[in-house]
A and B are shown apart, each in its own frame.
Chain A
Amino acid sequence: MTELNPVLELRKVDKSFGPIDVLHEISLSVREGEVLCLLGDNGAGKSTLIKTMAGVHQPTRGEILMDGNPISFRGPREAQEAGIATVHQFGGTFPLMSISRSFFAGMEPTKGWGPFKIFDRQKANEVAVREVQNFGITRVEDGDRLVGGLSGGERQSLAIARAVYFGARILILDEPTAALGVKQSAHVLRIVNEAKRRGLAVIFITHQVMHALSVGDHFAVLIRGAIAADFKKGEKTREEITDLMAGGESMADLEEAISGTA
């Protein structure tokens, strides 16, 4: 695995908004078929980092390389065209649209000619149902059903299936399990594994250590905009990671802090 060249690599990326430095010297890399887990507490700079990778922000210093070549995106659209897809916690699907219309939103398959092009519902339904089922949501049989009838986990899966279908090579998942229950989270984690099996480079952002440990190959802990730890699967225990995320405080420190205020 490690012999493969990274698909996406960040080298000493800094990002500041005016006088405020949000990211300091972030260096990361992710390879095909690998899941990189970005762990961090709220406010650690996770979303800025995601947006920098997804082309929303441009790095102030440092460079981003894709397949070894330096790249710079002027907007999220360019990043998407290059194969970097971001799936957000809630977004990506439209509750009151049918599964197939939602799947193809913005990329509608059409038949017909010129101004008389019509949305090819049959084809859209076929493809959407097939792709979603391949990702393990087997109860979806009818592409005309509304997305609103899907569970939160299934919607995430739909969004991931969509990104993969439209040629994503790097999948950025922004806290996909944050709002989900245990069962739904397991569903999404299975989808993450499926994406990995298909050779995608997955960047999985979460603050749930359990979820990260269950799918991750490589972990990076973000604290106050800097990488505080960078390690591979099996190098650290769950407790150590949780302590790291809390900024070096251990459970004992936390307990002390709580009892101190009480």
Chain B
Amino acid sequence: MLEKTNNTAGQTESVRNEQKFAFGLSEFIRSPAMGAFIGMLIVFLIFTMFGYHRNFLSIAGLANWMNFASTVGIIAIPVAFLMISGELDISTGAVMPASAMMLGISVNHYDFPMWLGIVSTLMMASCVGLINGVLVTRTQVPSFIVTLATLFAVGGLTLALSDLLINNTNVSLKSPDWAKAVFGTRYFGFRTSVFWWLGLIAVFWYFLHRSPWGNWVFAMGGDAESARNAGIPVNRMKIWLFILCAVCTSLAGILQVIQFNSAQSATFFNMIFFTIIASVVGGVLLNGGAGSVIGVVFGTMTLGIVQQGINYTEIDRNYSLLIIGVMLLIAVLMNGTFQRLATSWSQTKEGCLI
């Protein structure tokens, strides 16, 4: 009898230790990022199957879709922050070309030193973010409409101003060596933007999941009124998130123009869809309150594989949009299921432990 009791006690102890040890993993399995990871794995395996003989697994193949993913990814994470906090930013499609054009024009036509061009471009973007944030928090107009308006306004202004200032809607840019090295060259076949992306992932992960501010972002999206009652400066925080989003979009534009030595002023509507798809496929809830940086990274990579990696497989390129559409639908349905599972532990608690 005594032995038996000891035995059970020992077992409980070991279960507890195991739980502690495996906590990181179990947290991951429960999180929406898990769905994004599985999704990416499935897509990756299928593409490997069809792309093995077309160099999908080569460094060039990897770099090809990672390069694309990095541009989307730098913007997608702050977009996801806004979605988690219950807002949306679609002005990214205009801020990116606007930034690329502004840097090109200011450096190439007005002889700004490169650093000043970059600083003033980032300042311009933060002004757009500030306008978005102030309008959304002051007017209570849905951020979709507010940023739709700024999308067109900034897009139109970019076209009009480039036509006015340089009489051309395209601009070329000659960058000094240091700027090339920092923003626009290739290392091991990967564009510099890939390394920027990786660095930003670390910073953003820390911000959302470790710093106290991350908690505010989740709380704001969960229930803005309660967050306000809890003393979280909801409006100020939202404005900062809009600024962050615009600045990151601007950075993506800067990386692009320095990489390719030229920029076009046409609004990049696809970027809007790419960033939202990456977030949703990455497990971010459309109505806010949940999401993770790692999930969005997986979502972005999945998008990269389907959109660009497809060129290194035997799959017809025309199918990529279809695959993205199906994936998005599955992701939205899965996010709902994950949400239900995550909030129904009262019934399944025993099962979870085993």
Interface residues of chain A, those whose CB is within 8 Å of chain B, are 76-77, 80, 86, 88, 91-97, 101-102, 104-108, 110, 117-119, 144-151
Contacts and interface: CB of A to CB of B under 8 A. Distances in A.
Contacts of A119: 210-212, 214-215
Contact of B229 (A76, A97, A104, A146): A76
Interface in B225-258: 225-227, 229-232
Nearest to A141: B349
Given A80-B231, A119-B214, A94 B289 contact: yes
Contacts of A110: 212
The listed residue with most A CB atoms (<10 A of its CB), out of B27, B222, B223, B230, is B230
B222 A96 contact: yes
B205 to A, nearest CB: 12
B215 A108 contact: yes
Given A91-B226, A96-B342, A106-B232, 8 more contacts: A92-B226, A105-B226, A106-B231, A118-B206, A118-B211, A118-B212, A146-B343, A148-B342
Interface string B300-314: 000000000000000
Given A96-B289, A119-B215, A107 B210 contact: no
B201 to A, nearest CB: 17
B216 A106 contact: yes
B336 to A, nearest CB: 12
Contacts of A101: 215, 218-219
Interface string B162-205: 00000000000000000000000000000000000000000000
Given A96-B342, A146-B342, A106 B227 contact: yes
Contacts of A106: 216, 219, 227, 230-232
Contacts of A107: 230-231
A117 B219 CA distance: 19
A145 B223 CA distance: 18
20 contacts: A77-B231, A93-B226, A94-B289, A97-B215, A97-B289, A101-B218, A105-B226, A106-B216, A108-B212, A110-B212, A118-B206, A118-B212, A119-B211, A119-B212, A119-B214, A119-B215, A144-B27, A147-B343, A149-B344, A150-B346
B215 A105 contact: yes
A199 to B, nearest CB: 23
B115 interface: no
B130 interface: no
B273 interface: no
B144 interface: no
B218 A94 contact: yes
A50 B7 CA distance: 56
B290 interface: yes
Contacts of A146: 342-343, 345
A118 B210 contact: yes
Nearest to A110: B212
A105 B214 contact: no
